[in-house]
C-alpha cells in the first residue's frame, strides 16, 4: 500500500498527472501518493515518479508539437499541457558534427545542442515539468537553489505562468547568469557561499512559514523536475531515427540528468519504441569539482563531497545527490566517469566553436573535453555512433574564453592598412 503525504494529497487527487501513478523510493521501493515530497520516510532514499504508460506509439509522438510536450504521454503532466502558458522548451538540434568527429578521430558524432532552449540551457526542460507540479499542488511561488542556469529558467517560467519567483544563487556566479536570472522581475537572492550551502539553506526554508506554498523545483518538487531530463533521451532517439546511440557523454553536476537519460532510454526499450541494444554512458566532470569521477577511478561506491574550484560553475556541486547512481549506471553500461581541468575546458569550447559553429558554455566544454580525453586514451570506441551534450550557451560564460577571443588586428579603414596587417 502506498504511503500518503499530508495536505498535498487532496491537491494530487484533483488534478491530472497523465500516466504518473505515484512516487517510489529508488532504494527500498516504498510507494507514495503523488505529492510535493522528495525523500522516503522509511529509508530516506530519493523518490521518483512511477508510471503506467499503457500503449505509446511512435506516430502519436511524431504528430505532437515540436517541443517536449510531444512526449506528454511519458511525463507526469496533464494531456492539455501544451495549451497552458509555459516556455515550451525542447526539440533542440542534434547537430551532425562531422568536422569535430574528423578532428577527434571518430566515425560518427552528434552534438545535442540544448543552448537553443528559451533561456539557453537544458534547465528549461526540467523546470517545465516542475511548473506543472507546482500548479497542481497550488503553489504560488516558484523557487530553487541554482548554480546559474536554473535560476534563469525558473524566473522565466514563473513570469510566463503568472507566478511569483524567488531564486537563490551563490554570490560569485558569472555576471551574465546573474543578469538573466534577475531580468524576469522575480526576486533574486545571492548567498555568500557555494551551491551546496545555498541548497542547504533552501531545505531549511521549506520547513519555515516563509516558504509556505513555495515550490522549490529541485527540492520538494524534485521527483517531477528530474523527469524533464528524460526528454533529452527521447529526442536523441527520435532524431537518430528511433534508435539509441552506441555511446553518450553527459555532464555531471548533481548527476540527475545522467540518471534520467538512462531512465529514458530504458523506457523507450520497454515500450518497444526503439530496438533493445547495448549503450555506454560516460559522465563528465570538471577536475576542480569531480567527486563522482574520483570515486569511479578509485572503485568506490561512496562519493566523498568536495569544495568546488572550477570555471565550470554550472557543474560546481560538491555533494551530488545522484552521484552513487551515476557510478552504478557508468559501470552497468560499460562507460566511465572522467574529468578535465579548466585549461582543457577552454580548449574544448574553442574546438567545438571552430569545428561546428556551436558556442558552448563551460559545461559543454567539460563534455567535449572529456570526449576528447576518452578518445585519446582509447576508452571510447572511435567507430561507434556517439552523442555528446552541450547543455548551455557560451554567451553565459564569456569570461572563460574572453582572453582567447580578441580581434585579429585593429586597423584603419583602408586596404593598405589591411594588407600591412596581414601581409604574412
Predicted pLDDT at 11: 45
Sole residue written with cell 523536475 = 225
Predicted pLDDT at 15: 67
13: cell is 487527487
The answer to whether 330 and 281 are in contact (CB under 8 A) is yes
321: cell is 545527490
Low-confidence ranges of the chain (pLDDT < 70): 1-15, 424
The answer to whether 401 and 289 are in contact (CB under 8 A) is no
Predicted pLDDT at 10: 41
Quote the CA–CA distance of 424 and 407 in Å, as a whole number: 17
Angstrom CA distances, 420 to 113, 282, 411, 412, stand at 40, 49, 9, 11
User: Between helices 323-333 and 291-298, what is the axis angle to 10°?
Assistant: 50
Predicted pLDDT at 9: 46
Quote the CA–CA distance of 84 and 278 in Å, as a whole number: 38
Buried b (16+ CB within 10 A) or exposed e, 292-313: bbbbbeeeeeebeebebebbbb
Predicted pLDDT at 207: 81
Quote the CA–CA distance of 251 and 127 in Å, as a whole number: 18
Quote the CA–CA distance of 47 and 219 in Å, as a whole number: 11
Predicted pLDDT at 2: 64
pTM for the full model? 0.94
Predicted pLDDT at 320: 96
Predicted pLDDT at 4: 59
DSSP class of residue 36 equals S
H or E segment to which residue 35 belongs: none
Amino acid at each position: 500500500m502506498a504511503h500518503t503525504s499530508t495536505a498535498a494529497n487532496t491537491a494530487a487527487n484533483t488534478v491530472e498527472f497523465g500516466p504518473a501513478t505515484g512516487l517510489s523510493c529508488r532504494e527500498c521501493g516504498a510507494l507514495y501518493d503523488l505529492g510535493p515530497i522528495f525523500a522516503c520516510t522509511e529509508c530516506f532514499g530519493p523518490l521518483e515518479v512511477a508510471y503506467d504508460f499503457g500503449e505509446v506509439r511512435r506516430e502519436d509522438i511524431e504528430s505532437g508539437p515540436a517541443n517536449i510536450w510531444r512526449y506528454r504521454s511519458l511525463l507526469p503532466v496533464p494531456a492539455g499541457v501544451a495549451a497552458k502558458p509555459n516556455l515550451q522548451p525542447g526539440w533542440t538540434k542534434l547537430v551532425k558534427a562531422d568536422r569535430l568527429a574528423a578532428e577527434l578521430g571518430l566515425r560518427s558524432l552528434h552534438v545535442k545542442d540544448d543552448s537553443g532552449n528559451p533561456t539557453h540551457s537544458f534547465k528549461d526542460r526540467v523546470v517545465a515539468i516542475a511548473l506543472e507540479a507546482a500548479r497542481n499542488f497550488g503553489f504560488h511561488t516558484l523557487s530553487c537553489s541554482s548554480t546559474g542556469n536554473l535560476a534563469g529558467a525558473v524566473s522565466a517560467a514563473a513570469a510566463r505562468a503568472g507566478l511569483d519567483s524567488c531564486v537563490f544563487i551563490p554570490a560569485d556566479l558569472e555576471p551574465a547568469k546573474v543578469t538573466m536570472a534577475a531580468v524576469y522581475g522575480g526576486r533574486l537572492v545571492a548567498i555568500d557561499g557555494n551551491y551546496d550551502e545555498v541548497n542547504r539553506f533552501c531545505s531549511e526554508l521549506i520547513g519555515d512559514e516563509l516558504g509556505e506554498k513555495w515550490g522549490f523545483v529541485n527540492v520538494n518538487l524534485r521527483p517531477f523536475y528530474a523527469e524533464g531530463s528524460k526528454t533529452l533521451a527521447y529526442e536523441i532517439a527520435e532524431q537518430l531515427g528511433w534508435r539509441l546511440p552506441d555511446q553518450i557523454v553527459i555532464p555531471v553536476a548533481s548527476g540527475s540528468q545522467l540518471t534520467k537519460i538512462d531512465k529514458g532510454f530504458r523506457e523507450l526499450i520497454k515500450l518497444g519504441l526503439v530496438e533493445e541494444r547495448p549503450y555506454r554512458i560516460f559522465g563528465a566532470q570538471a577536475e576542480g569539482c569531480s567527486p563522482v569521477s574520483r570515486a569511479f577511478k578509485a572503485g568506490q561506491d561512496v562519493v566523498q563531497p568536495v569544495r568546488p574550484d572550477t570555471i565550470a560553475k554550472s557543474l560546481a556541486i560538491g555533494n551530488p545527490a545522484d552521484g552513487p547512481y551515476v557510478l552504478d549506471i557508468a559501470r552497468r553500461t560499460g562507460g566511465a566517469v572522467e574529468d578535465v581541468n579548466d585549461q582543457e575546458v577552454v580548449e574544448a569550447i574553442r574546438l567545438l566553436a571552430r569545428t561546428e559553429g556551436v558556442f558552448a558554455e563551460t559545461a559543454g566544454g567539460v563534455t567535449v573535453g572529456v570526449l576528447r580525453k576518452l578518445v585519446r586514451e582509447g576508452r571510447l570506441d572511435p567507430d561507434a555512433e556517439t552523442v555528446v551534450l552541450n547543455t548551455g550557451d557560451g554567451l553565459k560564460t564569456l569570461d572563460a574564453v574572453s582572453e582567447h577571443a580578441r580581434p585579429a588586428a585593429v586597423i584603419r579603414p583602408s586596404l593598405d592598412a589591411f594588407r600591412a596587417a596581414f601581409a604574412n
